[in-house]
Amino acid sequence: MTASRTASRPAADLDAPELRPDVHLSLDALHDLANAKLIGAGLSRAHAAAVAETMVAGERDGCASHGIYRLLVAANSIARGAVVVDAEPVVSEPAVGLVRVDGAGGFAQLAFERGRPLLVEKARRCGIAALALNNVVHFAALWPEVELLAGAGLVALAFTPSHAWVAPEGGTRPVFGTNPIAFAWPRPGQEPFVFDFATSAVARGEIELHRRAGKPVPDDWGYDAAGQPTTDPAAVLAGAMRTFGGHKGSALAAMVELLAGPLIGDMTSQESLAADAQRGGSPIGGELIIAIDPAGFVGTAVTHHLLRAESLFAGIEDQGARLPSQRRYAARRRSLADGVAIPATLYDDIMKLPSGE
Under DSSP, the state recorded for 226 is: T
Which residues lie below 8 Å from residue 349, measured CB to CB, with a gap of 6+? Answer: 72
The catalytic residue among 31, 47, 59, 66 is 66
How many CA atoms, within 13 angstroms, populate the side-chain half-sphere of residue 138?
30
Burial of 178 (0-12, 13-18, 19+ CB in 10 A): buried
How far is the CA of 131 from the CAs of 96, 151, 154, 161, 185, in angstroms?
Answer: 11, 17, 14, 15, 18
Q: How many CB atoms lie within 10 A of CB 96?
A: 9
**Dihedral sign from CA coordinates of 124, 125, 130, 135:** negative
The catalytic residue among 8, 65, 88, 310 is 65
| Cβ(352)–Cβ(33) below 8 Å | no
Helices (H), 127-215: 143-151, 204-213
Q: Could you tell me how far CA 238 lies from the centroid of its own chain? A: 21
Please tell me the pTM assigned to this model.
Answer: 0.91
Mean of the per-residue pLDDT values of the chain: 93
Q: Could you give the percent of the chain with pLDDT greater than 90?
A: 90
What confidence tens digit (pLDDT) does each residue in 140-182 have?
Answer: 999 999 999 999 999 999 999 999 999 999 999 999 999 999 9
The residue-averaged pLDDT of 86-90 equals 98
Which residues lie below 8 Å from residue 311, measured CB to CB, with a gap of 6+? Answer: none
- Answer yes or no: 200 catalytic: no
The catalytic residue among 59, 113, 145, 206 is 206
Statement: residue 16 has pLDDT above 90 = no
Q: Could you tell me how far CA 34 lies from the centroid of its own chain? A: 16
Question: How many angstroms separate the CA atoms of 310 and 46, rounded?
Answer: 38
- Answer yes or no: 305 catalytic: no
Q: pLDDT band at 357, cuts 50/70/90? A: confident
The size of the chain, in residues, is 357
End-to-end CA distance of the chain: 13
- Answer yes or no: 66 catalytic: yes
Question: How many angstroms separate the CA atoms of 298 and 353, rounded?
Answer: 52
